[in-house]
Amino acid sequence: MVINGETGAHLWADRFEESITDLFKLQDQVVARLANSLGYELARAEAQRGAHSTDPDAIDLMMRGWAALWQQPTQESTTSARDYFDRALKIDPQNAEAMVGFAYARTRAIIYGWSTTAADTTAARLDLLTKATAINPGYSFAYYVKSLTLFGGRQFPEALEAARTAVALDPNAAYGYFAMANAEESLGRCEQSISHLKQAFALSPRDPIGGVWHMVLGAAEACLGRLDVAIAEENRAIDAGYRTYLPYALLAAVEAAKGNDAEAKLALAEARRLNPQLTIKWYVERNGLPSAVIVDGWRKAGLPEE
């Protein structure tokens, strides 16, 4: 348990199943979970203390951008984050953290269909990330964003390599294991994907973006034909607050594959309400080709090809 020494407020507590006889392994788990549980505040604060920018206005805008991005993804929060990072970079073009945030916001806008500019190409975002890592080579999160960007460009082996770099730079980076899982699932290596996701959850059991991890775990389970587990994971993603078109679309596919036609149609209706542009072609262009189980399920549920 972690208590604020000044106020006495409860900050963090967790349960561990490892035997006390293996103290070094237990110590590693405590450090990893604490880092991930508090990391969204503490790690960013530490990064800001060592930020390359010394301009207070640029740092303030960069921090506001990250605060917007750590919310559940909406068009409004993503647009707001993008604007903050853009403004920060106009003040300080060498702010690596703002570069990474700007690339992340642009990648998110493309995944969800919110991009309004033809300049949001994979090459443009990768160029920005290359500049950021040249300025700050040890910035693990930059490689996570690079992995997502490459994934969106359907460069799955390269996305996997970028995710591995994120984990090599920070072995406690739960988001890096998620990025590896994301790429492995699209490469058809679904057992490896599930293994990486279990590691991500072990490092950060209550992660703010854990809903996304449940969604990818559901897709990997569907890939292996474990439909009941897949349905449960997609529902966990939604219950965790991740209510975008993505988990509803995957839930529709798996319900249809299971023969649950009514449930599939309900889930698909919600996915298309959240994203009226959704078709099989539209999904594949932004998220890669899912397993045959998912694609066949979409066809059974009635999702248009294009």
256 Cβ neighbours under 8 A, 6+ residues apart: 264, 297, 298, 300, 301
DSSP secondary structure letter of residue 55: -
Report pLDDT for 18. Answer: 55
Read off the DSSP letter of residue 73.
P
From the first residue on, what is the mean pLDDT of each consecutive set of 10 residues in the chain (306 residues)? 45 52 54 53 44 75 92 91 95 94 94 85 94 94 96 93 96 94 93 96 89 96 96 97 95 98 98 96 88 96 96
The domain 208-306 is placed in CATH, from the list 1.20.210.10, 1.25.40.10, 3.80.30.20, 2.40.50.140, at 1.25.40.10
Residue ranges of domains in the chain: 208-306
- Cβ–Cβ under 8 Å, residues 217 and 49: no
pLDDT value, residue 5: 43
